[in-house]
Amino acid sequence: MSTQASAQIRQMANFILQEAHEKANEIRVRTEHDFNLEKQTLIHKAKLDVHAEFETKEKEREVQARIQKSTELGNSRVQKMKYRDDLLNQLLKDATARAAVISAQPNYPSLLTRLIVQALIKIEETDVVIYCRQADLAMVTKVLPQAVSDLVKLMKEKAGVDVKPNVTVNQNRSKDLETSTGGGIIAVADDGRIVCDNTLEARLNLVYIELLPSIRAILFPEGQ
């Protein structure tokens, strides 16, 4: 082979090698570019995923915090209401204990008379049985005629009606009122179908219910 032909072959080989190197370099550059682009895409996606997960956990934390705060607030309100109810119940209990002392006062017979008259007016029946505590039996029996007389007189003066009530005291000792009633009477008519509770306990409960809004306002001012 001539020297010229060898030179041409070497020249062609060098050209092919140069082309191969350039192509390989081009592939390497493109591969690195694609790799870096994919890496940046994955990193960006990972950042977004982490950020989204963080936001989700933060929202869950905020929700749990609100739930806990609401629960604590609810428990606090329940405890506050329970404390108030306990205080009001104790107030009523103390008032009931004080009311029981009334039956030992000198004016108790007069009070019994008025309670009987009130019950007879309210019950509006002719045949009535009066129930009382066993401790008050003698006193009720004693004041009953006066109470009936006051009723007859009152009905005549205020309504112009002549009434002739048949009022008796309960004779069944097993049906006497409990000591816890504090005193007073219960009037019963029509075989127990009509009842007027005029015991001191019942009267106190009525007053308590009526004045409860005022009592709450005094004991628990708004905002406290």
Q: What's the whole-number mean pLDDT along residues 82-98?
A: 75
Residue (of 167, 135, 137, 134) closest to 150 by Cα position: 167
**What per-residue confidence (pLDDT) applies to 119?**
95
Q: Which class in CATH covers the domain with range 106-211?
A: alpha beta
191: left (phi over 0), alpha (psi -120 to 50) or beta: left
**What per-residue confidence (pLDDT) applies to 96?**
75
Q: What is the pLDDT of residues 12-63, one digit of tens each?
A: 777 787 877 788 788 887 887 877 878 788 787 878 887 788 788 888 888 8
Q: What is the pLDDT of residues 214-224, one digit of tens each?
A: 888 877 787 55
**How is the beta sheet containing 127-131 ordered, strand by strand?**
166-169, 127-131, 184-189, 194-199
% residues pLDDT > 90 (the chain): 35
Asked if the model's pLDDT at residue 88 lies above 90, the reply is no
Q: What is the pLDDT of residues 145-192, one digit of tens each?
A: 999 999 999 999 988 888 899 999 999 999 999 988 889 999 999 988
Identity (one letter) of the amino acid at 206?
L
Residue (of 175, 11, 200, 26) closest to 108 by Cα position: 200
